[in-house]
Amino acid sequence: GILYKNAEALQKTSKIQYAVFDKTGTLTNAKPTVNSFDIKDFDEIKFWSYLKTLENHSSQVLAKAIVKKADENNAEILDFTDFQNFGGRGIGGVIEENKVLIGNLRLMQENNIDVDFYKTEFEKEKNVGSTFVFFAINSEIKGYLTLSDEIKSEAKQVIEKLKSLDIKTVMLTGDNEGSAKSVSDLLGI
C-alpha cells in the first residue's frame, strides 16, 4: 500500500531504520465504542441528552461513538449556547442554564473540578487503555464514560514483519499514556 514516486525513493527503503505509526486509524480501526459509564445525582436520560447535544457538534472521533450510544439510550438534542471546543481536552457549553464540561482529566483540572469520586475507576480504566471521559455540570462531577478502539487485524503482523527486517517500530498518539501503552504492549511496538 505504499506509493513510490521515483526509483531513488525505492532504493532508499533498504536504509529505513524506523517505521513511525499513528495509533488511531492506522493501528486501530478508528471506530471506538462506549464500554461503560456511571452517573451520580443526575437523570440518565438527561445525561445522554446533554452528551448528545454537545458531542453532536464535535468533530472528534470519540464524539461519534458517544452520539451513537446516546441514540441507543433515546437521547434528544436540546437547546444550547456557548459551545466550546477545548483542543485535545474536551468540549463544553450551556444547556438548560447549566455549564456543561465533557472531557479528560486535564480539562477538569483546568476548571478546578474535583474528580476524586471517580479516582478508582479512572486509575483502573487508564491502566487497561480505555479513554476516560468526565462529565461535569456547574463545576461538579456528575459522571463518566469509557471508550476503547479495536486494533486492526493486520497491525501485529505488520509490526512483526518490520521487526524481522530490523526496522524499529514507533507509535505516535495524542491519546493518554494508558491507551497508548495498551496498544503498544499488544503489538510489541
Active-site residue set: 22
Grid coordinates in use for 97? 442554564
Can you tell me the distance from the alpha carbon of 16 to that of 67, in angstroms, rounded to the nearest whole number?
42
User: Which residues is 19 bridged to in the sheet?
Assistant: 169
Helix 177-187 vs helix 119-127: crossing angle, to nearest 10: 30
Grid coordinates in use for 168? 524499529
**Residue 39: C-alpha distances to residues 45, 134, 140, 166, 186 (Å):** 11, 10, 12, 49, 31
Can you tell me the distance from the alpha carbon of 140 to that of 113, in angstroms, rounded to the nearest whole number?
6
Comparing C-alpha atoms, which of 167, 41, 144 is closest to residue 90? 144
CB 133 within 8 A of CB 146: yes
Helix 155-164 vs helix 177-187: crossing angle, to nearest 10: 60
Cell 450551556, residue located:
94
